[in-house]
Amino acid sequence: MVLFLFPVYYLILGSFETPAQTLNGLQGAVPSSLTMQNYHTLSQTFFSAQITGSLKGFYTVSTLVSLLVVVGGLIVNSLAGYGLARLKFKGRRLLLLLVIVLVIIPFEAIAVPLYYMLSGLRNTLIVQALPFIGSAFSIYLFYTFFLNLPPQLEEAARIDGAGPWRTFLQIILPNAKPAFASVAILSFIQIWSSYLWPLMMTSQPNVYPLSIAIGNLVKQQSTPNYGEMFAFGVLLVVPMAIFFIVFQRWFIRSVASLAVKG
């Protein structure tokens, strides 16, 4: 916990310190004087700049792209996972095997082919979200969760006259909140902190997400101001922390349900 939480503590504290204090080794971890200057300078630099982009614009892009990935991913991946878990059709085992194979292939391995496939959509919001909506890992997570749901739930719904869609929406979804929360959290964290793909597909400030904006901040400074970088880092981390806190109860329940059988 110390190894993982100390950098977070140092990040937050460093954002309220001067650069000299931030770079003062472990002594910088003990606050002596705190200031909001880093956040003030950051807001002045990126408040309404047309060339470098604005903080409002960066947050808007990151939020819209994350919403596309999370909402679209929940719909697509839940249906795919449910189909693999419940429907019996020819080629089902092969399809499931392909999903598992895709889980172990890193995104970096297919980034360049994807770049050439989607180069016509560069500098758009949809291209930043499109490769992440369908996720093999999310499909497999839904698959394992639905596999452990009692089939008697669907049988009872069919007896009552419910069709497949009504069964899925009114019976399965209410019982799958932990799985949906887990996929939402993991998808949001992945896309919110994504760097390689936006770096490849964006070149205009009006479509920069926060992860690219913080990299450009470093490039613009002749002398690195680590206090401002730490402040930008806090602005990048806070939404992820809030999102996790909101859904953590269902996330923990999902982990427990996948770990305990019967």
State residue 126's pLDDT score. 94
CA distance to 136, 190, 207, per residue, from 107 (Å): 11, 11, 21
Better-scored residue on pLDDT, 61 or 26: 61
State pLDDT tens for residues 80-126: 999 998 888 888 899 999 999 999 998 989 999 999 999 999 999 99
Query: Which residues, including other chains, have CB under 8 Å from residue 120's CB and lie 6 or more apart?
Result: none
What domains, with CATH codes, occur in the chain?
A: 50-209+238-259 (1.10.3720.10)
pTM, full prediction: 0.83
State pLDDT tens for residues 61-71: 999 999 999 99
State pLDDT tens for residues 157-191: 888 888 888 888 888 888 888 889 889 988 999 99
Distance CA 70, CA 138 (A): 11
Helix, strand, or coil (residue 69): helix
Angle at 206 between CA 202 and CA 212, to 5 degrees: 50
User: Which of 87, 177, 188, 93 lies closest to 133, judged by CA?
Assistant: 188
Band (pLDDT 50/70/90 cuts) for residue 51 is very low
Percentage of the chain exceeding pLDDT 90: 31
For residue 39, pLDDT over 90 is answered with no
- Give pairs for 164-168: CB < 8 Å, separation 24+: 168/79, 168/82
What average pLDDT does the structure give for the chain? 84
For residue 135, pLDDT over 70 is answered with yes
CA distance to 38, 63, 234, 236, 248, per residue, from 241 (Å): 21, 14, 10, 10, 10
State pLDDT tens for residues 209-250: 988 887 777 666 666 677 888 888 888 888 888 888 887 777
